[in-house]
Chain A
Amino acid sequence: MDKPLTQHVNVESPPDLKAYEQAGGYQSVRKMLKEMAPEEVTELVKNANLKGRGGAGFNTGLKWSFVPMGEDAPQPKYLVANADEMEPGTFKDRVLMEGNPHLMIEGMINAAYAIRASEAYIFIRNAYKLSEKRLNQAIAEAYEKNYLGENIQGSGYNLEMKIHVSAGRYMCGEETGLLNALEGKRATPRAKPPYPQLSGLFGKPTIVQNVETLCNIPGIIVNGVEWFKGLSLTDEGGTKLYGASGKVKNPGCWELPMGTTAREILEEHAGGMQEDLQFRGLLPGGASTDFIIEEHLDTPMDYASIMEVGSRMGTGTMIILDDQTCPVAMLENLEHFFAQESCGWCTPCRDGLPWAEKLLHAIDIGEGKPEDIEKLESTSKWLGPGNTFCALAPGAVEPLQSGIKYFREDFERHIKEKRCPWR
């Protein structure tokens, strides 16, 4: 099967520009600049139904189509790669950036051209030092070979590209929080509307795109819509980088057709649970998604299908819960992360999440009260989308509300027995 994302990935020693070109790299750039108008690139990507791999799953080409084009459009326009991968349990973008940095750069050039951006930024998380180093090297090589800079490949199109290293907060992975951080402001989100396509970086039209999404674009340009759709098992095109972490035999990251079932990823690729451990549930797309349990494992892992079983595919990197790990402690850990990463802008998230964390902690150490479960449930309900300023809090309560739904007995045991039964 075609693995357009990882076929040239080599985490030990990624291909340099020469090797990458020999393997077919930057073909999409040459083709695009010679044969396609920017709007045609957008249309192509829209038709391919490439959904954003950052977790939202929005049609990428459709997103680009809202950027004002034409001579009167505000300048400069920006393309920003969201390389701030901080969703707990997620490490797929890292594989791409460390293993084949040129693929992302190629994808960025495609996307920038489609919206006629003249400046591109890679906003990368602080901890990804190796990725930063390799990307910097790759960018330098790309400039040297005139894939970046002025008059790219003689086309008249100019694109400058820079890396910006984050000072380090989860909120910088939120598209508008990222833009604020990139501008040197506090990493708090912005209200939408206006959308970044209209007022983004420095108030100009901007597209922010996930690393994995960008890496899909060169393939679409070179091979076309039918090829892309043909890679997947459902109607959501392309391949997907799926991951698994937790107490499985073979945690890792694999490129598989979009729509591979959760069970196949868990049992065939991750090798199933470790010796003497039973599966209890998993978070399909990183920490901010709802649990799914045994009965849902045959669900295809694509955006629409996972939604139907009450969760979100998110990033597609699963966190698996085994039966020897206390779910309350797991949730306390997750809510600790979310409470700490709250930017502090809006009341429900800033003051509601720490309360949830403290309740979970109390339950975990045997000081929980019966009404605590109700309080956690109501907190989950109230921290829904629209009630908070951005999606951090709604994401934070997804594992919480589903954890209580599926593991309520475990909570009740902690409270009744005044201890953690797993310790």
Chain B
Amino acid sequence: MPTIYIDDKPYEVKAGQNLLNAVLSLGMDLPYFCWHPAMGSIGACRQCAVKQYQDENDKQGRIVMACMTPAADGTRISIDDPEVQQFRANVIEWLMVNHPHDCPVCDEGGECHLQDMTVMTGHNYREFRFKKRTHRNQDLGPFINHEMNRCIACYRCVRFYDDYAGGDDLQAFAAHDHVYFGRHEDGVLESEFSGNLVEVCPTGVFTDKTLQRHYTRKWDLQSAPSVCHHCGLGCNTLAGERYGTLRRILNRYNRAVNGYFLCDRGRFGYEFVNSDDRIRVPQLRYRGDKDTEEISRDDAMRQAAEMLDTSSGLVGIGSPRASLESNYALRKLVGKDRFFTGMSENENHLVSEVFDILRNGPARSASLDDIRKADAVFVLGEDVLNTAPMAGLNIRQAIRNQPMEGVEEMGIPEWHDAAVREVVQGEHGPLYLATLTGTKLDREATDTYHAAPEDIARLGFAVAHELNDDVPAVADLDQDVQQLAEAIARALQNAKRPLVISGVSLGSEEVIRAAANIAWSLSTAETPADIHYIVSEANTLGLGFFESGGLDSALEMVESGEADTAVILENDIWHRAAPEAVESFFDTCKQVIVLDHLETGTVAAADLLLPAATFAEGDGTVINNEGRAQRFFQVFAPEEPLQESWRWLGEMCKQQGNDPRWNSHDDVSNMLFQDIRTFAGLVHVAPDSEFRLNNQRVPRSPFRYSGRTAMFADRDVHEPQPPEDPDSPLHFSMEGTSKQQPSGLTTFFWAPGWNSVQATNKYQSEIGGSLRGGDPGVRLIEPSKGATPEYFTDIPEQFSRDATEWVAAPVHHIFGSEELSARAEGVSQLVPDSYVVLNPADAKRFGDGEEITVALEIGSSIYTERVKTDSTLPEGIVGVPVNIEELSKIQLPDRANITEAESV
């Protein structure tokens, strides 16, 4: 390990770093702007200047930029040298020449990196007496504010947006002190990751527009560590609340999962929690036959008891967007044999397939970090930027890995970002995409294959056969597909860390199985190959652990008379089964109890409705698609009687004479992993509610939090006690200690002098590495290393279009296809209107000209939709957007009839 000398003191540092990285990893303070731990150094801002000396005798030294200087063995620098301190202060002075005096009205104030670095350098007096340069701002869409006067030209925004995330509609324009960062014209930012600008920008140029609508200062927020509920990846977040409304989502660093970034669906989807459509009190709904009646909590429980007592049989319909605890509580109430996962029957089957493959096979379930480290990637059937966007962001980094080997040979360090990119140019490692239609990731791909699901599977099976003779060959494979399979197999075989990505998005079992065959063929006794299965929702894979049936089985139980009372947990079942079946279910089912957050079609059909707490209003655990169990903590105590579903269900159990004695989350959690052994690892997910640091709880608010006693003065002038929290070691106040808490209990990132998100540096064991004490979350699924897999041998026939019927296949949208985020105010503006998509040759059958409308008939429902065309979509297939408007009732894939129709 190299030794460097800082102000004459020796320090051991990790090899290969630059000095800024080394200094920060040592826990010391050095100001910077343009360097970013995920994006490396460019040396533009000049803020991280230090004095470097040739040897002990050199008393003069010269000023160098720490971020651009290797921390080589024997390097001697001074941070405290007066001349370089003055230089650093001058850099701030120069930045302040044009910086507006916006602090009091700027959203960034209080978590502003520029503020922090200004204070750190000591500059405080304005000598500049002339006019500042100003800019015109742009409307960049519903998520991001633009205030260019504040720009300090650190170039982080375009480096993140274009270089890291692959965008192209945010650029640097003009030059000198007029340099401008924006779009060529006003318009919605196109990148799925635009929201990260609010954290990447060190000042208030790019700020959270959704936060601005209900703005509050960072120090006035009550926050808790949470997990994003808007897809299956389980990115870690920090959710902040004030006055009972959720204000914003911030990234919560977790090296193993999301790292430094979130996607826009996850960052801005939270607004559904504040929706006017929230259910906040228990209601008698009468299935919409009469006016809704709001009732008290006690009345609701009495009503529930009556319904359960008079029932001839219960059925419990769980949910992949509800926590493990809530699903378990439902299972406890209705009994193991009457509990169903609530996923569509097909999805339930696919998830259980994935679960078995991950548990019993030799391939290892890859985390997002593993994706980032892969050096050859093959994606089967997933439009990742829409189904699991952060996986897409990490694939973009993965394809940089192979070219990096050439760079290292030239002696260019990895962190020298511009030099690395210059040498690499556009080169990238192997990325093969086999998807239904063209995707935004296609232009980074080595090759793409757009085909029907069965053909995607056939390609996958062919790749596996190339890798492994034990796997059957694919008969009648097209020549060019065969060649592609050979190329993919070669790329995976020659890679050091090959990765296969697939998932449930196309609804195809064969695609999932083909992916397994490939990953298994790549696995050896010592080294499991990585496989990453994308699932739809926050707890989809978690439900796989319950090994229960899907929705159809639940509906069947009612149809057959075995059950006449349904308890439906956080699930709009209209999205998960054929509309005829759901309608019949509601007709047949005598009593329906629903627990949920928002008005839905299922809520409308309820008899008794109970208000379920959202992720921000309760505690729970979810398991992401990797198999990582992660705990989300209650951010704020909602107004009674809103509470977690598991609490409602626990009370209902008690009323049935089966009191589980769940006084706290610990109680549910303990019972859960004792009852279901596959959950045994859950005990390590987070410290239990008794955990204390120096006998103190961990505060949810920073010590500058204001107004705690005045907040409710309009209702009661007495000083309120903070709400109790029996479920966790966190405290609903600013009192407590946040030093050295376990990583999973971090409620906000802060350190003295570091009020911005940059404070994350102080929580890592090394910059860009894991959090001190380990990254939160526990992997519950490990491969059966070295196991001989039972390869799948059923290879589907080639897709051929039917003479009379169409195949309706799912098309996913980052904004709209996930139920909860689609109800967020900002996100909802970007949800497309409903449509169907056809290959242009197919579209011609139904009309000429630009505007074609068709009638799509599936089952006994007819949907009239405008037609979009996509030449990458195979003929004979109609693409149906998932969960958009009335189309949300369609179970995909399915067969369809299409006829011409009059305009909508």
**Distance in angstroms between the alpha carbons of A375 and B43 in the assembled complex:** 25
Please tell me if B95 contacts chain A, counting CB pairs below 8 Å.
yes
A346–B46 touching, CB < 8 Å? yes
Q: Is the CB of B43 within 8 A of A351?
A: no
- A346 near B44 with CB under 8 A, answer yes
Q: Are A342 and B177 in contact (CB under 8 A)?
A: yes
Any A CB within 8 A of the CB of B799? no
B62 at interface, CB cutoff 8 A: yes
In the complex, which of the residues B45, B62, B98, B419 contacts A199, with contact meaning CB atoms closer than 8 Å? B419
> Provided the pairs A169-B175, A348-B94, A350-B176 are in contact, do residues A203 and B87 lie with their beta carbons within 8 angstroms?
no
Cα–Cα distance between A187 and B176 once the two chains are bound (Å): 11
Comparing A190-198, A235-243, A296-304, the segment that makes contact with chain B is A190-198
Chain B residue at smallest Cβ distance from A359: B130
Contacting chain A: which of B420-428, B478-486, B634-642? B420-428
Q: Does B39 contact A (CB under 8 A)?
A: no
Q: Does A70 contact B (CB under 8 A)?
A: no
Flag whether A388 is at the interface (Cβ < 8 A). Answer: yes
B residues lining the A interface (CB < 8 Å): 42-47, 49, 62-64, 68, 87, 90-91, 94-95, 97-98, 127-128, 130, 133, 152-153, 155, 172, 174-179, 410-412, 416, 418-419, 422-425
Tell whether, in the assembled complex, residue B176 and residue A389 are in contact, meaning their CB atoms are under 8 Å apart: no
Assuming A199-B412, A199-B422, A347-B46, what are 12 further A-B pairs, CB within 8 angstroms?
A: A171-B175, A190-B418, A202-B425, A203-B425, A339-B176, A346-B46, A347-B45, A347-B47, A350-B153, A355-B128, A375-B127, A386-B62
Residues of B near A387 (CB, < 8 A) are 46, 49, 63, 87
Tell me the bound Cα distance from A194 to B406 in angstroms. 14
Q: Using Cβ atoms and an 8 Å threshold, which residues of chain B touch A203?
A: 422-425
> Can you identify 21 A-B contacts, CB atoms within 8 angstroms?
A191-B68, A191-B418, A340-B176, A342-B176, A344-B176, A344-B177, A344-B179, A346-B46, A348-B90, A351-B95, A351-B98, A352-B94, A354-B133, A358-B130, A362-B130, A375-B127, A387-B46, A387-B63, A388-B46, A389-B43, A389-B44
* A375 vs B174: C-alpha distance when bound (angstroms): 28
> Contact between A348 and B91 (Cβ–Cβ < 8 Å)?
yes
- Does A422 sit within 8 A of B, measured CB to CB? no
Q: Does A20 contact B (CB under 8 A)?
A: no
B423: A residues at CB distance < 8 A: 194, 199, 203
Q: When the two chains form their complex, are residues B46 and A389 in contact, meaning their CB atoms are under 8 A apart?
A: yes
With a cutoff of 8 Å between Cβ atoms, the chain A residues found around residue B177 in the complex are: 339, 342, 344, 350-351, 354
User: With contacts A199-B419, A348-B90 known, is A194 near B410, CB below 8 A?
Assistant: yes
A31 close to chain B: CB less than 8 A: no
Which residues from B are CB-within-8-Å of A194? 410-412, 419, 423
Distance, CA A205 to CA B49, complexed state (A):
30
Shortest beta-carbon distance, B133 to chain A, in Å? 8
Please provide the chain A residues from 175 to 205 with a CB less than 8 Å away from any CB of chain B in the complex.
Answer: 186-187, 190-191, 193-194, 198-199, 202-203
In the A-B complex, the 8 residue pairs with the closest CB atoms = A351-B94, A344-B179, A203-B423, A342-B176, A358-B130, A344-B175, A351-B97, A344-B176
Greatest chain B CB density within 10 A among A203, A342, A362 is at A203
Q: Is the CB of B153 within 8 A of A344?
A: yes
User: In the assembly, what is the distance between CA of A350 and CA of B176, in Å?
Assistant: 5
How far is it, in angstroms, between the C-alpha of A388 and the C-alpha of B183 when the chains are bound?
A: 28
> Is A279 part of the binding interface, using a Cβ–Cβ cutoff of 8 Å?
no
Find chain A residues with CB under 8 A from B68 CB.
191
Contacts of A186 in B (CB 8 A): 172, 175
Q: Which of A190, A202, A347 contacts B94 (CB 8 A)?
A: A347
- CB-based contact B130/A355 at 8 Å: yes
Nearest B residue to A388, CB-CB: B46
B44–A190 touching, CB < 8 Å: no
A386 to B69 CA separation, bound complex (whole angstroms)? 12
Cβ < 8 Å to B, chain A residues 354-386: 354-355, 358, 362, 371, 375, 382, 386
Chain A residues with CB below 8 A from B98, complex form = 351
Q: Which residue on A lies nearest to B180, using beta carbons?
A: A344
A341 within 8 A of B: yes
Counting CB contacts under 8 A, is A343 at the interface?
A: yes
A166 nearest CB across to chain B (Å): 14
A347 and B68 CA atoms in complex are apart in Å by 16
User: Which residues of the other chain, B, contact A191 by a CB distance below 8 angstroms?
Assistant: 42-43, 68, 416, 418-419
Considering only CB atoms, which chain B residue lies closest to A179 in the complex? B422
| A347 pairs with B95, CB closer than 8 A | yes
Asked if B87 and A345 make an inter-chain contact with CB atoms under 8 angstroms apart, the answer reads no
CA distance A198 to B176 in the complex (A): 29
CA gap between A2 and B380 in the complex, in Å: 73
Contacts of B64 in A (CB 8 A): 386
A194 vs B738: C-alpha distance in the bound complex, in angstroms?
44
Q: Chain A contacts of B128 at CB under 8 A?
A: 355
A346 to B90 CA separation, bound complex (whole angstroms): 13
A154 to chain B, nearest CB (A): 34
Smallest distance from the beta carbon of B2 to chain A beta carbons, Å? Answer: 19
Q: How far is the CB of A349 from chain B (nearest CB, A)?
A: 9
* Min distance, Cβ A88 to any Cβ of chain B, angstroms: 16
B63, A386: Cβ atoms closer than 8 Å: yes
CA distance A308 to B52 in the complex (A): 27
Distance between Cα atoms of A140 and B634 in the complex (Å): 75
CA of A341 to CA of B179, assembled, Å:
12
Instruction: Chain A residues near B179: list those with CB within 8 A.
Output: 344, 350
> Is there contact, CB below 8 Å, between B87 and A382?
yes
Contact residues in B for A169 (Cβ distance below 8 Å): 175
B90 partner residues in chain A, CB cutoff 8 A: 348, 382
Pick from B87, B97, B178, B416: contact of A344, CB below 8 A: B178
Bound-state CA distance A358–B94 (Å) is: 14
- Residues of chain A within 8 A of B127, CB atoms compared: 371, 375
Q: Are A355 and B412 also in contact (CB < 8 A) when A341-B176, A344-B178, A386-B62 are?
A: no
Q: Which residues of A contact B43 (CB under 8 A)?
A: 191, 346, 389
| Chain B contacts for A342, CB-based, 8 A | 175-177
CA–CA, A86 to B412, complex, Å? 32
- Roughly how many angstroms separate A387 CA and B97 CA in the complex, as a whole number? 18
Q: How far is the CA of A316 from the CA of B334 in the complex (A)?
A: 93
Please give me the residue from chain A that is nearest to B173 by CB atom: A186
Task: Report the Cα distance A389→B174, complex, angstroms.
Answer: 18
Q: What are the residues of chain A within 8 A of B62 when measuring CB–CB? A: 386
A171 to B45, CA, bound (A): 18
Most chain B C-beta atoms within 10 Å of own C-beta, residue among A339, A340, A351: A351
**Chain B: minimal CB distance from A342 (Å):** 4
Indicate with 1 or 0, residue by residue over A11-41, a CB within 8 angstroms of chain B CB atoms.
0000000000000000000000000000000
A344 to B158 alpha-carbon distance, docked (Å)? 14
Give the chain B neighbours of A350 by CB distance below 8 A. Answer: 94, 153, 176-177, 179
With both chains docked as a complex, state the minimum distance between the C-beta of A389 and any C-beta of chain B, in angstroms. Answer: 6
Q: What residue of chain B has the Cβ atom nearest to residue A345's Cβ?
A: B44
CA distance A251 to B91 in the complex (A): 41
- Chain B residue at smallest Cβ distance from A186: B172
Find chain A residues with CB under 8 A from B425 CB.
Answer: 202-203
Inter-chain contacts of B424 with A (CB < 8 A): 203
Contacts of A382 in B (CB 8 A): 87, 90
B518 to A: closest C-beta gap in Å = 33
Q: Which residue of B lies closest to A369 (CB)?
A: B129
Minimal beta-carbon separation of A196 from chain B (angstroms): 10
B117 shortest CB reach to chain A, Å: 12
Residues on A with C-beta less than 8 A from B178 are 344
Name A68's closest neighbour in chain B (CB-CB): B410
A166 to B841 Cα, complex, angstroms: 45
A231 to chain B: closest CB distance in Å?
Answer: 37
List, in ascending order, chain A residues with CB within 8 A of B419's CB. Answer: 190-191, 193-194, 199
Contacts of A187 in B (CB 8 A): 175
Task: Considering the complex, give the chain A residue whose CB is closest to the CB of B90.
Answer: A382
Residue of B nearest to A343 (CB): B175
Nearest-CB residue, chain B, relative to A354: B177
**Residue in A193, A202, A343 whose Cβ sees the most chain B Cβ within 10 Å:** A193
Chain A nearest CB, measured from B171 CB (Å): 9
B residues near A352, Cβ cutoff 8 Å: 94
A185: nearest chain-B partner, CB-CB? B422
A308 to nearest B CB, angstroms?
Answer: 21
